[in-house]
Amino acid sequence: MLINSIPLRSQKEQFNLPTSIHYLNCATRAPFSRSVEQAGHTALSQQANPFGLHPDDFFTGAARTRILFSELIHNPDPERIAIIPSVSYGMAVVARNLHRKPGIRAGQHLVTITDEFPSDVYAWDRVSLELDLTVTTVAMPTQFPKGALWNQRLLDAIDATTALVVVPPVHWMYGIRFDLEAISKRAREVGAWLVIDGTQAIGALPFNLADIQPDAVICAGYKWLMGPYSLGLAYFGPAFDNGIPLEESWMNRLDSNQFHRLMDYQPAYRSKAYRYNVGEHTHFLQMPMLEAALTQLIDWQPARIQAYTNGLMADAWPILENLGCQIEPENEHMGRSHHLVGLWLPEHTDPMAVQQALLKRNVSVSARARVLRIAPHVYNDANDVDALIEVLRDVLM
């Protein structure tokens, strides 16, 4: 990926969001850019008449998307990317293959963090019972700042009995970052697998696969990848080579593009992560939209998105702190991110009531536990931030 050092300005004109709407909620679902919307319209028109469709057309769109996602995460081998429908699907692939991990034994434990997204929790219930493993959940500190201590607690929990570590780059509720390089180093030292749910970071926060060296990276496509719902991407490293897929799709076998020979049943899979593709992974309507979204993100670049959202919100945080709110401070890889920030409201404040007050004035954020999750992007500008501050002043003062 070529590095562009020119700072981003607001990209609001590339979206169809009404000026009266203040959507600071990309962590829930990204709006479609005009280019993604147009890709969907074009794909729909093309599919209205399937005459002339070739066998290779079932595979080429996904191939382009694998290349783009690989560029985004600095993955040199697109064949290690699988097309998945959801994070739960990707995590299920990991769970399905955990028994194949060298050295796995009863009594080991899986390490995760508190208040993690359910798909990163439910995945381990069945396999932990089957393999007699224990899930260790690392608690978030109660005091501020939280990030450095939380990271240290996580590192301390990884020891010789650890089989698997599941962690995100950024906590989906609180926006606190985890030092993936340090966590990966510790996991490799003890022989544990490292699985990353990149859904709330990849696309908006720089991610370098070579620096982190995870065993798997699972990512939904409808948040910071800015693509359609029910379509995601996953990286599966060498630990998953020759593993067991969740389903036996004909498309995942060798020579599956030779439609005239499909009755010559093929026992061999296509290479590397291809066996983990969801069935019917062509997604004739959605794949062009995800391709357009990834192309746009590569142009914007995650580092520039971080810088833009940082500058956009910088003046707001002191104002909100003066209203009695708290936020995690910046602290490089262990502090807050800039694209997703948890705003702890004053004690005895009802986050859901605050969210509803914001919605009445067309400001969209999410209430999660005791925090408001504020998630700006390049389609936001100073007017959106001013609207947020104005309502919170009225509600909290």
| Contact between residue 336 and residue 330 where contact means Cβ atoms under 8 Å apart | yes
Spatial distance between the Cα atoms of 129 and 120, rounded to a whole number of angstroms? 16
Task: Tell me the one-letter amino acid at 39.
Answer: A
Paired tokens of 187: 């996991």
First to last CA, the chain: 47
Per-residue pLDDT tens over the stretch 54-104: 999 899 999 999 999 999 999 999 999 999 999 999 999 999 999 999 999
194: nearest Cα among 176, 208, 212: 212
Which domains, ranges and CATH numbers included, belong to the chain? Answer: 12-32+301-396 (3.90.1150.10), 55-297 (3.40.640.10)
Q: In the prediction, which pLDDT does 369 show?
A: 86
> Helices 302-313 & 286-300, crossing angle to 10 degrees?
70
What is the DSSP code string of 20-66? T-EE-BTTT-PPPBHHHHHHHHHHHHHHT--TT--GGGGTHHHHHHH
Q: What is the mean pLDDT of the chain?
A: 96
Spatial distance between the Cα atoms of 329 and 339, rounded to a whole number of angstroms? 14
6: nearest Cα among 300, 296, 204, 378: 300
Q: In the prediction, which pLDDT does 370 show?
A: 86
Per-residue pLDDT tens over the stretch 327-371: 999 999 999 999 999 999 999 899 999 999 999 999 999 998 889
| Count of other CB atoms within 10 angstroms of residue 51 | 4
Q: In the prediction, which pLDDT does 5 show?
A: 81
Task: Tell me the one-letter amino acid at 337.
Answer: S
Question: For the whole model, what pTM was predicted?
Answer: 0.96
Mean pLDDT value across residues 12-34: 97
Indicate the DSSP class of residue 285: T
- The size of the chain, in residues, is 397
Reported as a pLDDT band with limits 50, 70 and 90, residue 1 is: low
Residues contacting 189, CB < 8 A, separation 6+: none
